[in-house]
Amino acid sequence: MDEAKLAHMRKLLSKLEDIKNTQESSIDKINHVITDLFQHPDPKLEKVMEEAHQRASDNVDMVREAMNAYEERVKKLTPE
């Protein structure tokens, strides 16, 4: 296996991890807004935040699945 290609693939894995972490951070921030809305309810904003939370969660799941599959491909190409 070409070492340059393997290094590139590992770099992509790192970027995928960063994307996943960013999405998880977004979920945390959305949760803070949702919590704040308990004291000052706003049904329209609550609905938007719930939808945003679901989309961000779906994104985390998609990226995690892609990372796992890609990581398996990298492992298969890595010499022992």
Mean pLDDT to the nearest integer, 63-67:
97
Lowest-confidence region among 12-16, 33-37, 74-78? 74-78
Query: Which residues span the domain enclosing 27?
Result: 3-77
Print burial letters for 51-77: b (CB count within 10 Å at least 16), e (below 16). Answer: ebbeebeebbeebbeebeeeeeeeeee
Q: Is 12 exposed, middle or buried (0-12, 13-18, 19+ CB in 10 A)?
A: middle
**Whole-Å CA distances, 56 to 11, 16, 18, 45:** 23, 15, 14, 16
CATH assignment at residue 42: 1.10.287
Mean pLDDT to the nearest integer, 38-66:
97
With a cut of 70, say whether residue 52 has pLDDT above it: yes
With a cut of 90, say whether residue 46 has pLDDT above it: yes
**What pLDDT was estimated at residue 79?**
80
**What pLDDT was estimated at residue 1?**
60
Counting the structural domains of the chain, the total is: 1
The HSE-up count of residue 65 (CA atoms within 13 Å, CB side) is: 6
